[in-house]
Amino acid sequence: MEKFTIGIGSALLFLALGVVTPLVMGNTKQVETRNHDIYLKTMGMQTITLGAGCFWCVEAVFDAIEGVESVTSGYMGGHVKNPAYREVCNGTTGHAEVIQVVFNPDIVSLSLLLEVFFATHDPTTLNRQGADAGTQYRSAIFHHSEGQLPIVQQAVQEATSHLSSAIVTTIEVASSFYEAEDYHQSYFELHGEAPYCQAVIAPKMKKFTEKYSFLLKN
């Protein structure tokens, strides 16, 4: 969820209007997706939620894009309230590891973000990205409005035309988003020298920055 600071009076007003209603439970925060999107719309922002394997990798890519205001790692698409990382990893909650991207459509379009999404993971492997296997690593796009749906569908068609295997990416309506534990956020930025980051995320970032250098934040 996008981090922002508001005064006590503003906070009370937002809560009275039902615009911001986060529920803090344990180590994760449930974001009421509809209310969150209403707030962002008033700020001229849009939200898209993406699953493409381990969220550490995906977060690093999208956080580098100009026009992206925030990237939050979390869980979506399951049937258990307030899931913890261990439960999601066990595949018992039905959730996918996702990133929730808040972006300014006047700076970067949803179409371009989805192009990056398909270019930086393998959308043809069912419930798997590299060595990470399980439904929690599925390729998925969770759209947040009816207006986003045709853009998502077009992006899938375009990606299909460039691939020799069938795309297994699911297209789903955004549901409750649960923010992942604090130690998952900004993982590559904070732990870039860790073996996993060097072996998996760094090569992905190198490939992305070479192809999409024009998208990078200054």
Give this prediction's pTM: 0.82
Number of folded domains that form the chain? 1
pLDDT tens sequence across 29-44 = 455 555 666 666 667 8
Q: Which residue out of 54, 57, 89, 197 is catalytically annotated?
A: 54
> Is residue 1 included in any domain, yes or no?
no
**Residue 3 counted as domain residue:** no
Considering the domain boundaries, does residue 115 fall inside one? yes
Inside any domain, residue 201 = yes
Query: What's the confidence (pLDDT) of residue 13?
Result: 39
For the domain that residue 152 is a member of, what is the CATH number? 3.30.1060.10
pLDDT for 44-94, tens place per residue?
A: 899 999 999 999 999 999 999 999 999 999 999 999 999 999 999 999 999
Residue 89 bears catalytic tag: no
SS3 track for the chain: CCCCCCCHHHHHHHHHHCCCCCEEECCEEEECHHHHHHHHHHCCCEEEEEEECCHHHHHHHHHCECCEEEEEEEEECCCCCCCCHHHHHCCCCCCEEEEEEEECCCCCCHHHHHHHHHHCCCCCCCCEECCEECHHHCEEEEECCCCHHHHHHHHHHHHHCCCCCCCCCEEEECCCEEECCHHHCCHHHHHCCCHHHHHHHHHHHHHHHHHCHHHECC
The answer to whether residue 20 is domain-embedded is yes
Residues spanned by the domain of 47: 8-215
Per cent of the chain over pLDDT 70 is 81
